[in-house]
Amino acid sequence: MKNLFFAFLAIVAVSCNSSAQKNKSEANSKKDVAATFEVSKTDAEWKGILTPAQYHILREAGTERPFSSELNDIKKPGTFVCAADGTELYKTAHKFDSGTGWPSFDRAIEGGIAMGSDAKLGYSRDEIHCATCGGHLGHLFNDGPQGTTGKRHCINGDAMKFIPETK
Q: Comparing 12-16, 38-42, 109-113, which segment has the lowest mean pLDDT?
A: 12-16
Q: Residues 125-154: pLDDT tens digits?
A: 899 999 999 999 999 999 999 999 999 999
Residue 90 has pLDDT above 60, yes or no: yes
3-state SS record for the chain:
CHHHHHHHHHHHHHHCCCHHHHHHHHHHHHHHHHHCCCCCCCHHHHHHHCCHHHHHHHHHCCCCCCCCCHHHHCCCCEEEEECCCCCEEEEHHHEECCCCCCCEECCCCCCCEEEEEECCCCCCEEEEEECCCCCEEEEEECCCCCCCCCCEEEECHHHEEEEECCC
Q: Comparing 21-25, 36-40, 99-103, 161-165, which segment has the lowest mean pLDDT?
A: 21-25
Residue 4 has pLDDT above 60, yes or no: no
Residue 107 has pLDDT above 50, yes or no: yes
User: What pLDDT shows up at residue 27?
Assistant: 37
Q: Which of 82, 130, 133, 154 is catalytic?
A: 154
Q: What is the pTM of this model?
A: 0.78
Topology (CATH level 3) of domain 39-164: 2.170.150
Q: Is 130 a catalytic residue?
A: no
Structural domain boundaries in the chain: 1-36, 39-164
Of the chain, the percentage scoring pLDDT greater than 70 comes to 79
User: What pLDDT shows up at residue 25?
Assistant: 35
